[in-house]
Amino acid sequence: MKSKHLAIRLELPRAICCVLLLSSSSYGQATSDAKQQSGALQHDVELKQTREKRQQFQTQELITAKRNHWVFKPGDPPRIVWRDAATVRQLGFNGPLRVRWFDAQFQEAMAPNATGRWGAWVEGTAPNGTPFRRAFSFYALPKKSLVVFAPQVDVTVPEVYGSEVADVWREHELELSRISTDLVRGQFIDNELSAVALAGLAESQRRGRKARFVESTRVLNDDYHLALKLKQQGLEKKIRPLQPPQQRTKPATHLRDGSLSEAGMSADAKTKIDAICRQWAEDTSEPFVTLVARRGVIVTHEAFGNDTDGSPITKEYRCWVGSITKTVTALLFSQFVDQGLIDLDDSLAEVFPDYPRNDSHVPTFRQCLNHTSGLTGHGNFGGFRNPHLENVILNAIDVNEPGARYAYSGTGFELTAKAMEIVAGKSAVRLYHEHFFGPLGFGDVPIGNASSDGEFTARELAIMAQWVANQGSYGELEFIKPATFERLLPRAFEVRQQSAVKDEGIGLHWVRHTKPGAPRRSSNPDDWLFSPRTVGHGSFSGCIFLIDLDQDVIIAQARRQSGKRSGEWSAKLFQTIAESIIPGGDVFP
């Protein structure tokens, strides 16, 4: 309060001076303006309070009334309740909570009364007046069953450079492993994932090999809830399948072995690049795999460093790529754009039936993918794994402000994945695998959300990079037309509450690495190592994904941690690669 009083005393003399200079009519206008300003401030305060309430409601959890009831015995059905009913009421949810039960064949029952998978469809009305929907998985045990879960957890504390706390934690790794094992064994059955696993295992057939990620129990669960949603919301007849890539009459560039001459690189390019990578790995003790190519010709593809067990890593080293996952989602989504199934500038209301049409609070898909949707967070509310993620967002849509500011976020990518599910009638993981990873010949790619949780090898990253370099094609397949690809490239746009004009693409950024001695963040293309049309995306794990579109150069690096002095070493790597490119693409004698 003291600061408020001080502000008033400082403003008073200026106000008095203004009054003395104003005519009576001007005074009336000033009074009116002051009231409007006061009203605007009051509106901002109320909007902030409402936004906080809406966001708090989004985080409220539904649980089972009794512990360990996600897996239950028929005759003792679970009951779903709010974890914090008092807070939910304070936030404005006063209506009834209706729970509907569906078996594995989507037949509705008054209560789960038979062995197997059960889906709980929860309905109500959110405080902002929109429909409230949530869905959960349960598993009813056979009458005679013996279920034993005794997982063993081994804790390895990652190295945190210069941290004494991390050293202490590492000295207690064995103890932490025991504690973690006890916690997991005690809590495993009291979690929806236990029901997901048991239901999926009961429904799976023996294959005689390890199950792939796309064959996991969680993907089966995704399939179930999507099918249930399409049926209950009357969306089955609106499905428009995504078509496979088209066959090209003339194959596009694909990664291949070849000479440095064919690549238009200096004769010592591989030797110099490998030397930098080897020194980098030795200095930081962080292993990684690097693949550099030009014109599709692989300049180098090598593994550097040792794994945690001391053994050398291989070229198939699979790594979490963090936010490069956003690029993957954007490239998949571009196929929907190319086939006219969803347009970048469509409102989300074009796909999600509960969203209000012609409403300024509802973002477009472009805004979802260029970080101006008004949404925040990464993997919030379970990401695309949440059967009704779009409904969670809807329950606070009245306070959303798309186009107001640029805020780096993954939630827009998760919503885009949910939209692709509804349009194509396939769960997100299946879309990634059947329409992108499979046609490109990838291995078993785990992908846990649409914005920050994919795991790839360096070669898989490089194939995607070449896809970008080819403007939407790879080898014999055309995924999107070049005109569609151009729509993915970064472009300038303005936001209402920020003065800066942003350059942002659809899962792609302009990448500017400066030459040694040039001003940092220089805007002069002469100071850049690569051409002005160089795109890519960063990664919290330090993975590299870079494409020079003009020089047809791709750089991919798969690693699990950035490691020490990552900025220094990556700069040396980029400089070495740039200096190895023969200007103009001329082939050396």
Q: What is the pLDDT of residue 231?
A: 97
Identify residue 205 by its one-letter amino acid code: Q
Q: What is the pLDDT of residue 188?
A: 75
**Taking phi first (over 0 means left), then psi (-120 to 50 degrees means alpha), and beta for anything else, what does residue 252 get?**
beta
Report percent pLDDT > 70 for the chain.
90
- Reply yes or no on domain 246-322+454-589 having CATH 3.40.710.10: yes
The Cα–Cα gap between 541 and 284 comes to 14
Under a CB-based contact definition with an 8 Å cutoff, are residues 368 and 348 in contact? yes
Averaged pLDDT of the chain: 90
Mean pLDDT of 321-344: 98
pLDDT band at residue 453 using 50, 70 and 90 as cut-offs: very high
Sheet holding 473-474, edge to edge: 246-247, 477-478, 473-474
Which are the contacts of 16, defined by CB distance < 8 A and separation ≥ 6? Answer: none
Q: What is the pLDDT of residue 32?
A: 66
The Cα–Cα gap between 129 and 93 comes to 9
pLDDT band at residue 182 using 50, 70 and 90 as cut-offs: confident
Under a CB-based contact definition with an 8 Å cutoff, are residues 112 and 127 in contact? no
Question: What angle do helix axes 411-424 and 217-232 make, rounded to 10 degrees?
Answer: 70
Q: What is the pLDDT of residue 164?
A: 77
Under a CB-based contact definition with an 8 Å cutoff, are residues 565 and 265 in contact? no
The beta strands (E) that lie in 28-106 are given as 62-64, 71-72, 80-82, 98-103
pLDDT tens column, 520-577: 889 999 999 999 999 999 999 999 999 999 999 999 999 999 988 999 999 999 999 9
Strand 288-294 relative to strand 297-304: parallel, antiparallel, unpaired? antiparallel
pLDDT of residue 12 exceeding 60, the answer is: no
Mean pLDDT of 237-252: 97
Residue 127: phi and psi, rounded to 5, are: -55, -25
Q: What is the pLDDT of residue 160?
A: 58
**Nearest residue to 572 via CA among 358, 280, 290:** 280
pLDDT of residue 10 exceeding 60, the answer is: no
**Nearest residue to 97 via CA among 121, 122, 129, 134:** 122
Report percent pLDDT > 90 for the chain.
76
pLDDT band at residue 165 using 50, 70 and 90 as cut-offs: confident
pTM: 0.88
Who has greater pLDDT, 415 or 176?
415
Q: What is the pLDDT of residue 367?
A: 97
Who has greater pLDDT, 520 or 58?
58
Question: What angle do helix axes 324-338 and 411-424 make, rounded to 10 degrees?
Answer: 40
Residue 93: phi and psi, rounded to 5, are: -90, 95
Under a CB-based contact definition with an 8 Å cutoff, are residues 554 and 469 in contact? yes
Q: What is the pLDDT of residue 148?
A: 52
Task: Give me the CATH code for the 59-203 domain, please.
Answer: 2.60.40.1080
pLDDT of residue 24 exceeding 60, the answer is: no
Of the listed ranges 19-23, 220-224, 370-374, the least confidently predicted one is 19-23
Q: What is the pLDDT of residue 450?
A: 97
Mean pLDDT of 174-195: 85
Three-state secondary structure call for residue 94:
coil
Q: What is the pLDDT of residue 70?
A: 95
pLDDT of residue 218 exceeding 50, the answer is: yes
Mean pLDDT of 479-485: 98
Who has greater pLDDT, 509 or 585?
509
**Nearest residue to 224 via CA among 143, 107, 334, 68:** 107
The Cα–Cα gap between 245 and 227 comes to 25
Q: What is the pLDDT of residue 358?
A: 95
Identify residue 80 by its one-letter amino acid code: I
